[in-house]
Amino acid sequence: MMKSAGGLLLAAVLLAGCGDNGAAKKEMNAKFRRLDYRVSAMETLNAGSTTNLESATQEYIALVREYADELGADEARQRLVAKGDELGGYCLPCRATLYDEARKY
């Protein structure tokens, strides 16, 4: 009886930890979506100004660094390159900065 109770307790603890990862991943994805939305608005509204895009690029890099362990090297690199490709038409320094950061992964 004690072994089965201990097994159930261990299973409950492990499952509780798994649920937390899902919440953390949802929070991470929400932060990326919010920043992506802000950047897309900058792309359409500030086509001639790169200052805001450069600031958003630094925020994006900081976000990738914050979640690098959860993303893994391949996903972190892919996100940085994709964002660099997206911003390249509006802000060449942003693209270069994102590509340089992607090389670190």
Number of domains in the chain: 1
Higher pLDDT, 40 or 16: 40
pTM: 0.76
pLDDT of residue 5: 40
Residues contacting residue 63 through CB under 8 Å, at least 6 positions apart: 31, 32, 35
Could you tell me what percent of the chain has a pLDDT over 70?
78
Would you say residue 10 lies in a domain? no
The verdict on residue 98 lying in a domain is yes
Q: What pLDDT was estimated at residue 57?
A: 96
Range of the domain at 49: 25-102
- Inside any domain, residue 65: yes
Position 3 in a domain: no
Secondary structure letter of residue 88 according to DSSP: T
- Asked whether residue 6 is domain-assigned, the answer is no
- Residue-level pLDDT at 9: 45
9/3 Cα distance (integer angstroms): 10
Q: Does 42 fall in a domain?
A: yes
Q: How far is CA 20 from the centre of its chain?
A: 17
Could you report the per-residue pLDDT of 46-91, keeping only the tens digit for each?
A: 655 778 899 999 999 999 999 999 999 999 999 999 999 999 988 9
Average the pLDDT over 30-46 and give the result: 88
